[in-house]
Structure 1
Amino acid sequence: MKQYVHVIPYKVIAENEGIKEVPRGVELIQAPEIWSETKGKGMKVAVLDTGCDTAHPDLQDRIIGGKNFTDDDGGNPDRFHDYNGHGTHVCGTIAAQENDTGVIGVAPEADLLIVKVLNKAGSGQYEWIINGIHYAIEQKADIISMSLGGPADVPELHDAIKTAVENNILVVCAAGNEGDGDDSTNEYAYPGAYNEVISVGAINLERGSSDFTNSNNEVDVVAPGEKILSTYLNGKYATLSGTSMSAPHVSGALALIKDYSVRQFERSLSEPELYAQLIKRTIPLGNSPKLEGNGLVYLTVPEHLSRIFDESFKTRMLDTVY
């Protein structure tokens, strides 16, 4: 019997038209504060999800290509349209462009590679996802964003992720929504529970831990995941909740961090070095590490951490173990 991965369960709060604002989640992680330094230009983010509304006015100029690995549209690889809404919402949080209307993403000049691995029902075979990861590697993605998961630890999926990381691709995954609000219990969803990925839990817009967010020792960071406004189907907008909404905040943040760090250090950085740069841009919220990992992604670097950009760090290898 075939096993399936699904979109991390999420809740649609509302659908909207005629929006013009910077979403509060984007503001909470301090993205607008560093747009004068970087907006992620040239960074390629592969979004493995339900596809994307490629005609959405906030996204159409950010999409550089993609491929369909699902059974939607008769399996046509060139049709990666979103019939679900989940993938379009994720894409908007990462890189909705700055166009004086709608919303704006964390990295509004990053490029989106649409890798459709979940069908209109939000379900995908492991083979589709594994093939999608290898496609992202072939396309030389800088970041892979996956707001999907399942209960099974599948070795072939794990191996594909290891290969991506070995190619210095940052792999960001939603931690999962099976949490019970009790940090003494562990809830695991894969691929979010793999050590090699950056596992993202959820907080609300008041910085409180979300009741639904998974708790375990593999959670790396948290980001806003409740009442998140972003792009949706048919050129519209929607407010959704779930760790699916948290992960793309971090994917976008990493696009900004990588672009800025490469220019600052004047060399390419390895995946562990980039992970270290992310962790340096977190603040603890006072929750258990099993709920928040290293804390909330917070892109403005505190004064006492500004030394990380000193000349001495340009040639030093940062040895980071997840």
Structure 2
Amino acid sequence: MSDAVELQPFEAADVSRHIKEIPKGIQMIQAPAFWEKGSYGRGVKIAVLDTGCDKDHPDLKDRIIGGRNFTDDDEGSKDSFKDYNGHGTHVAGTIAATKNDKGVVGVAPEASLLILKVLNREGSGRPEWITEAINYAIVQKVHIINMSLSAGAEHEDMHEAIKRAVDKGIIVVCAAGNTGNKAKRFPAAYNECTSVGAVDFSGNKAIFLTENEEVDLTAPGVNVLSCYPLDLIPDRSEPYKVISGTSMSSPHVAGALALVLSFYQSKEQFNRPLTEDELYAQIVKCTIPLGGPKTAEGNGLLYLTAPELLAEYWKTNKPDLSQYS
């Protein structure tokens, strides 16, 4: 079995209209309502392990705090994390595109992005590249790692690096996979990772979803609008594309984790850092079951206002404690 790490097949659709909006996926998970708490992800550092990123993209240039190349692109130059593929820029945009009254907005528009290029221009990578990048992310003290990539086989060194990250309090978010069957994809299938499934904007399971018992929650992953490299689009004034895949649902969760972390670490809340377990518990609280199998949705759809909805329900639906007396 090949141990190559790769992007699952995806198609990127050009955008032929002027873009100035909050993408539907960002709205669907209730990010704008969460912003009303005053939390936009400020102070949270997210490592994006992908195909790189366009550091000159107008919606991302203020979010990127650094980057590093672990691939064979550009003759292996460590300083060149240019995205020749488009996938990484799209993922980064969903996580943290700046709220600048133009283009698109990400889930956590004030979070910081560390771009770690582990997939080359063909969308292919080696497990050792990813292992090295995870170890680098740990040294850089990131709070969240997003990996919208997968392999059909396990890799011990990569797994050990993920364990180290989690031990350091870093939550690792991964795309569940786009195989349309139940075969496990890694690293999402590792128990230490938060595996994200995909639904469309009606809440229906994506037809391409890799279903298994490791899926933790689900998020929008069909026809997701986000950023795209300026050099890879027909009109540089509209650097956006629409893509489908669990690669697109995973960054919704990574961005949401940044919002939750920023909010709950504040002086008005816990007033201390959250552990990885605590952060996972908080994001699970922000889900709504859709009624599908657990192998497809895990705890349910990411819905950032779910705790408030439950609190409102409690106010008007107190339990009848006499019915079993």
Q: Which TM-score applies when normalising by structure 1?
A: 0.91
Deviation at 1:179, TM superposition (A): 1.6
Specify the code of the residue in structure 2 equivalent to 1:12: A
For residues 309 and 77 of structure 2, the distance between their equivalents in structure 1, rounded to whole angstroms, comes to 52
Deviation at 1:72, TM superposition (A): 0.6
For residues 16 and 31 of structure 2, the distance between their equivalents in structure 1, rounded to whole angstroms, comes to 23
For residues 59 and 30 of structure 1, the distance between their equivalents in structure 2, rounded to whole angstroms, comes to 21
Deviation at 1:18, TM superposition (A): 3.0
For residues 40 and 8 of structure 2, the distance between their equivalents in structure 1, rounded to whole angstroms, comes to 28
Which residue does 1:314 correspond to in 2?
A: none
Deviation at 1:138, TM superposition (A): 0.6
Q: Show CA shifts across 1:23-58 (max 9, x none).
A: 000000000001122000010010000000110000
Assess if the C-alpha contact under 8 Å between 1:95 and 1:252 holds in 2. yes
Which residue does 2:243 correspond to in 1?
A: 240
Structure 1 stretches of 5 or more lacking a match?
Answer: 181-185, 308-322
Which residue does 1:293 correspond to in 2?
A: 298
Counterparts of residues 175-214 of structure 1 (less than 5 Å): 175-180=176-181, 186-214=182-210
3-state secondary structure, aligned to 1:230:
strand
Which residue does 1:48 correspond to in 2?
A: 49
3-state secondary structure, aligned to 1:252:
helix
Deviation at 1:11, TM superposition (A): 2.2
Assess if the C-alpha contact under 8 Å between 2:3 and 2:152 holds in 1. no
- 1:242–1:79 CA distance, 2 compared to 1 (3 A): same
User: What is the percentage of aligned positions where both structures have the same residue?
Assistant: 56
Q: Which TM-score applies when normalising by structure 2?
A: 0.90
Specify the code of the residue in structure 1 equivalent to 2:202: E
For residues 170 and 294 of structure 1, the distance between their equivalents in structure 2, rounded to whole angstroms, comes to 17
Which residue does 1:145 correspond to in 2?
A: 146
Aligned length: 302
For residues 15 and 166 of structure 1, the distance between their equivalents in structure 2, rounded to whole angstroms, comes to 42
Counterparts of residues 268-307 of structure 1 (less than 5 Å): 268-303=273-308, 305-306=310-311
For residues 49 and 198 of structure 1, the distance between their equivalents in structure 2, rounded to whole angstroms, comes to 17
Q: Show CA shifts across 1:168-209 (max 9, x none).
A: 0010000000124xxxxx221100111000000000011100
Which residue does 2:317 correspond to in 1?
A: none
Structure 2 stretches of 5 or more lacking a match?
Answer: 231-235, 313-325
Name which one, 1 or 2, has greater alpha-carbon Rg. 2
Structure 1 residue 229 corresponds to structure 2 residue 234: no
Assess if the C-alpha contact under 8 Å between 1:16 and 1:237 holds in 2. no
Deviation at 1:298, TM superposition (A): 0.4
- 1:16–1:247 CA distance, 2 compared to 1 (3 A): farther
Q: Show CA shifts across 1:110-133 (max 9, x none).
A: 000000000000001111000010
Deviation at 1:100, TM superposition (A): 1.0
3-state secondary structure, aligned to 1:205:
coil
Which residue does 2:262 correspond to in 1?
A: 259
For residues 139 and 8 of structure 2, the distance between their equivalents in structure 1, rounded to whole angstroms, comes to 26
Which residue does 1:168 correspond to in 2?
A: 169
Deviation at 1:7, TM superposition (A): 1.5
3-state secondary structure, aligned to 1:229:
strand
For residues 26 and 219 of structure 2, the distance between their equivalents in structure 1, rounded to whole angstroms, comes to 9
Tell which deviates more after alignment, 5-14 or 261-270: 5-14
Which residue does 2:94 correspond to in 1?
A: 93
Q: Show CA shifts across 1:137-189 (max 9, x none).
A: 11001000000011011111110100000000010000000124xxxxx2211
3-state secondary structure, aligned to 1:221:
strand
Assess if the C-alpha contact under 8 Å between 2:3 and 2:154 holds in 1. no
- 1:303–1:79 CA distance, 2 compared to 1 (3 A): closer
Specify the code of the residue in structure 2 equivalent to 1:145: N
Structure 1 residue 57 corresponds to structure 2 residue 58: yes
Assess if the C-alpha contact under 8 Å between 1:11 and 1:242 holds in 2. no
Specify the code of the residue in structure 2 equivalent to 1:273: E
- 1:303–1:33 CA distance, 2 compared to 1 (3 A): closer
For residues 222 and 32 of structure 1, the distance between their equivalents in structure 2, rounded to whole angstroms, comes to 18
Deviation at 1:8, TM superposition (A): 2.9
For residues 271 and 73 of structure 2, the distance between their equivalents in structure 1, rounded to whole angstroms, comes to 43
Assess if the C-alpha contact under 8 Å between 1:85 and 1:233 holds in 2. yes
